[in-house]
Amino acid sequence: MDIRPIHTEAAYKDALAAIAALVELDPDPGTPEGDRLDILATLVQAYESKHWPIGAPDPVEAIKFRMEQGGLSIKDLEPMIGKRNRVYEVLNRKRPLTLPMIRRLHQSLGIPADVLIAEPVIG
């Protein structure tokens, strides 16, 4: 098995092509092909994390995403954030989340607390 670290874009593309070919074979774990797929996937993940890191989402965007995902309305957020006008202020970045809001959003919607306490993106 000739597998090397991925240092270049060309090596990254080669690894992706090799992964695609192996996925088509659908190898069993523990077989030489399955091990090769596992190692290549790990190398690709490490390369992507280094070259294209994904930061934590913006708290307001996380709330909006969860609303969309769950089919929630502004009214559904009122128990967690406050009256309708307060919900709009938070979603429009006019008012920051308070600690009690963060706790309720985390408990009710399952949004990770570390995402909710992050500084919102302004702009």
What CATH number is attached to the domain comprising 83? 1.10.260.40
pLDDT, residue 65, reads: 95
Q: Is the pLDDT of residue 77 over 70?
A: yes
Shared-domain flag, residues 34 and 64 = no
pLDDT, tens digit, for every residue of 79-99? 999 999 999 999 999 999 999
Residue 122 domain-assigned?
A: no
What pLDDT score was predicted for residue 82?
96
**Cα–Cα distance, 71 to 5 (Å, whole number):** 44
Structure tokens at 41: 């996937």
Q: Give CA 64 to chain center in angstroms.
A: 14
121 belongs to a structural domain: no
Q: State how far the Cα of 87 lies from the Cα of 81, in Å rounded to an integer.
A: 6
Is residue 64 in a domain?
Answer: yes
User: Which residues constitute the domain of residue 27?
Assistant: 9-51
- Indicate whether 66 and 108 sit together in one domain: yes
Is pTM beyond 0.75 here? no
**Together in a domain, 78 and 45:** no
In the predicted model, what is the mean pLDDT of the chain? 93
* Residues 24-36: tens digit of each pLDDT: 999 999 999 999 9
Alpha carbon distance 72, 67 (integer Å)? 5
Query: Count of domains in the chain?
Result: 2
Q: Count of CB atoms within 10 A of residue 40's CB?
A: 20
Mean pLDDT of 72-81: 97
Q: Give yes or no: residues 39 and 70 share one domain.
A: no
| Per-residue confidence (pLDDT) for residue 1, from 0 to 100 | 60
- As a dihedral over the C-alpha atoms of residue 3, residue 9, residue 12, residue 14, rounded to 10 degrees, the angle is -80
